[in-house]
Amino acid sequence: MEVILAEHMGFCFGAQKAVDTVYEQIENEENVGRPIYTFGPIVHNEEVVNDLQRKGVRVLSDLAEAEKLPDGERGTVIIRAHGVARAVRERLEKQGYTLVDATCPFVKRIYNIVEKESEAGKSIVIVGNAGHPEVEGIRGWSNTKTYIIGSLEEAEKFTPEEGEELCIVSQTTFNYKKFQDVVEIFGEKGYNGSVVNTVCNATEVRQAEARELAARVDVMIVIGGNHSSNTRKLYEICRQECEMTYYIQTLDDLHLNLPKSVRLVGITAGASTPNNIIEEVQNYVRINF
Ligand code: SF4
**Is-contact 82 60, C-beta < 8 A?**
no
Q: pLDDT 10s per residue in the chain (289 long)?
A: 899 999 999 988 999 999 999 999 999 999 999 999 999 999 888 889 999 999 999 999 999 999 999 999 999 999 999 999 999 999 999 999 999 999 999 999 999 999 999 999 999 999 999 999 999 999 999 999 999 999 999 999 999 999 999 999 999 988 888 999 999 999 998 888 999 999 988 888 999 999 999 999 999 999 998 888 889 999 999 999 999 999 999 999 999 888 888 999 999 999 889 999 999 999 999 998 7
Q: Annotated catalytic, 134? A: yes
Nearest protein Cα to ligand 1, atom 6:
14
Can you name the residues that pair with 246 across neighbouring β-strands?
Answer: 221
Sheet holding 76-79, edge to edge: 58-60, 36-39, 76-79, 98-101
pTM of the model: 0.84
Alpha helices in 190-260 (DSSP H): 201-216, 229-241
Q: Which atom of ligand 1 is nearest to the CA of 104?
A: 1
Cβ contact 89:99 at 8 Å: yes
Q: Please state, in angstroms and rounded to a whole number, the distance separating the CA atoms of residues 60 and 85.
A: 15
What phi, psi does 220 have (nearest 5°)? -125, 135
| DSSP tag of 97 | P
Element (DSSP H or E) covering residue 219: strand 219-223
User: H-helix or E-strand containing 178?
Assistant: helix 176-189
Report residues whose beta carbon is within 6 angstroms of any ligand 1 atom: 12-15, 81, 104, 106-107, 172-173, 200, 202-203, 271
Q: Give the integer Cα–Cα distance in Å for 35 and 31.
A: 7
With the most atoms of ligand 1 within 8 angstroms of its CB, the residue from 20, 80, 82, 107 to mutate is 107
State in Å: Cα 72 to ligand 1 middle: 34
